[in-house]
Structure 1
Amino acid sequence: MRTPFLALILLLSFQTLPARAGETVSLGFGRLFTNDALGDGQDRWRSGAYQMSWMRGPEGLTGLPGRAGELIEYRFSTRILAPANGVTPAPGDRRYAGVSALGVYTHFTDRGFDFSLGAELVAVGPMTGVGAFHDWSHDMMGMTRPSAAVLNGQFPNAFHPTLAGEIAWPARITENVTFRPFVQGRLGDETYIRIGGDILIGAGFDRGVLARDETTGITYQTFDSARLPGWGFLVGADSALVGRSVYLPASAGFDLTPLRHRVRAGVQYQGEHFGIFYGATWLGREFSAQPESQVVGSLQIRLDF
């Protein structure tokens, strides 16, 4: 998805004010849009993604609670996985996949560790509408469209129940600098164990509740009350041992790389009514026939009315 496609997504990046509902309240929204065009300017492999978190919990909650189930994240995500050439793919390149997922997570803290545990229902195939939207948006903006052969050859409709979890240990280095190593696991559409860490600088990262983007590993703030004015920075890296991926099936001859690596950096600015974040993530090769790594960019824009 090249740069003009951003125009359709930017509206989805705007923040809205929380609204109360019943015995719990909406504590905030977090969103992150990722696109290859914002990184190395290509339209390949991890082509585009969007992830949104809606946080709900007791009124007045300002951070992680001490028990599971008190704070709930409702997560929606969508991803485009594509061959490097969307018109005439090279032999052995990855197959097109349109992916959408709905998930429910709980976040809590215990004995100095931050926990995120949840489940997702991951949908793959033409039924998601991702491939059709990709084709329509490129056609409308005069960009190269994925060929009919690529879209017709995408993974068929399927659902993949998925479990996911993360344990992080935030260690404060200075007043505004936190080192946050983590271990993450996933069982479902992809099965992996991942180890990594992030250095988070600035008030926007040391309070509230952070969620992690599936594509890049970037952590983003989900609590509206934690968006304090000022600058923030992050750097991080991780490696995953992937045991299985429905997007790179061994039955089709794909050999997974021994480890899947990511390195990321980002900067954010938060004003009184406007905030913006940009991050770049280097993604290592995911399968042996992938000729090189890629760089994707991530964007978040927040407007508070």
Structure 2
Amino acid sequence: MGLGWKGVITTCALCWVAASTAQAEAQDRALLGIGRLFTNDFFADHRDRWRTGSYSYSIVHGRPWSGARPQVPGAVLEYRLRSEIIAPARLNGAGSNDRAYVGALSAGLHTHYSHGALDISAGVDLVATGPQTGMLDLQDAFHDQISAPSISDRVRDRQVGDDVHPTALVELSSPVALNDRTSLRPFLEAQYGVETLLRVGADVLIGPMLQQDLWLRDVPTGQLYTGVDHGKAGTGFVLGADYARVSDSAYFPASFGTRAKDERFRARAGLHWRFGDGISYFYGVTYLSEEFEGQPEGQIVGSLKLNFNF
């Protein structure tokens, strides 16, 4: 498979990350934290459709965390693994042909640093789609165990095909401390690859225990989850919203006939409980606007994280 411009962009981005890492000051690097977030519409509207489920797992390595991002790119590195299932409105029968089924797996490398007043996150992912990921078979087997609807042959035969999509992602944010317990994080995000889009939005973090963590952004929902936990106990709230212009998406192949909408909107809220170093809980809900022409409504999904690190 020829990678074309995507391959060139990905190769350049990987070289940049590697060079930045090599130039970082020589200092012992260690595991700083593990971030994880499980999202499913079962935790919200119970409908098992569209952006129905995803799991993000991030391993963060770097120099000792001081409560703020380092000034050097590559000093903090995130190794990111993701899985996602995107399904039609129904897995069989009426409504099973409104969009193509998507099973996706990805692995990537990202760096998080600051430059002046900007927080910068940049990296690349390789996103695999199609039957090769095994996601459809996994969902079908799970549904069989719990007597949930099975996936029809028609959905299976018309799913997004096998491919690998090099994807580059950059986010610029400018945190503003409103007081000692509240901060505003407006951001701009650009992505090129499996989905090509430009997104603008903002998040509000409320609570002293949330002000010194390294925040990572979940791809489908935009929810912020901790990559490095500063360890303060307490309760905090996160509110956010964003708007995106979409120019291309591999999740809507031309052969299927469904056309992606040019605009998307997300709104989210979440609650963090932290009981001490390594023990925390998060629950959030996200509204996702319609993604394709003919989608009758948006959807609400729920996100969970439960950490017990001993």
TM-score of the two chains, using structure 2 as the length reference: 0.87
1:74 aligns with 2:91: no
Cα deviation 1:13-46 (Å, max 9, x = unaligned): xxxxxxxxx9421100010100011111110000
What is the rounded CA distance, in whole Å, between the counterparts of 1:61 and 1:70 in structure 2? Answer: 12
Match of 1:90 among 88, 95, 108: 95
What is the rounded CA distance, in whole Å, between the counterparts of 1:61 and 1:233 in structure 2? Answer: 22
**2:266 counterpart residue number:** 262
Match of 1:284 among 280, 289, 299: 289
Cα deviation 1:170-216 (Å, max 9, x = unaligned): 00001010000000010000000000000111234211211000011
**1:49 counterpart residue number:** 54
1:235 aligns with 2:235: no
Match of 2:210 among 191, 205, 208: 205
Question: Aligned residues: percent identity?
Answer: 38
**2:253 counterpart residue number:** 249
CA contact (8 A) 1:64 1:208 kept: no
1:254 Cα deviation after fit: 2.9
1:116 aligns with 2:121: yes
Cα deviation 1:225-246 (Å, max 9, x = unaligned): x132110101110010000001
Cα deviation 1:37-94 (Å, max 9, x = unaligned): 1111110000100111110002455431101111100000110010000112537511
CA contact (8 A) 2:96 2:155 kept: no
Match of 2:35 among 9, 30, 33: 30
**1:13 counterpart residue number:** none
The SS at the match of 1:135 is helix
Gaps of 5+ in 1: 1-21
The SS at the match of 2:136 is helix
Gaps of 5+ in 2: 1-26
What is the rounded CA distance, in whole Å, between the counterparts of 1:29 and 1:220 in structure 2? Answer: 10
- Aligned residue-pair number: 283
What is the rounded CA distance, in whole Å, between the counterparts of 1:227 and 1:143 in structure 2? Answer: 40
The SS at the match of 1:301 is strand
Farther-moved stretch of structure 1 (247-256 vs 173-182): 247-256
Match of 1:301 among 285, 302, 306: 306
CA contact (8 A) 1:25 1:58 kept: yes
Match of 1:101 among 86, 100, 106: 106
Farther-moved stretch of structure 1 (208-217 vs 81-90): 81-90
TM-score of the two chains, using structure 1 as the length reference: 0.89
**1:18 counterpart residue number:** none
**1:189 counterpart residue number:** 194
What is the rounded CA distance, in whole Å, between the counterparts of 1:80 and 1:129 in structure 2? Answer: 11
What is the rounded CA distance, in whole Å, between the counterparts of 1:233 and 1:61 in structure 2? Answer: 22
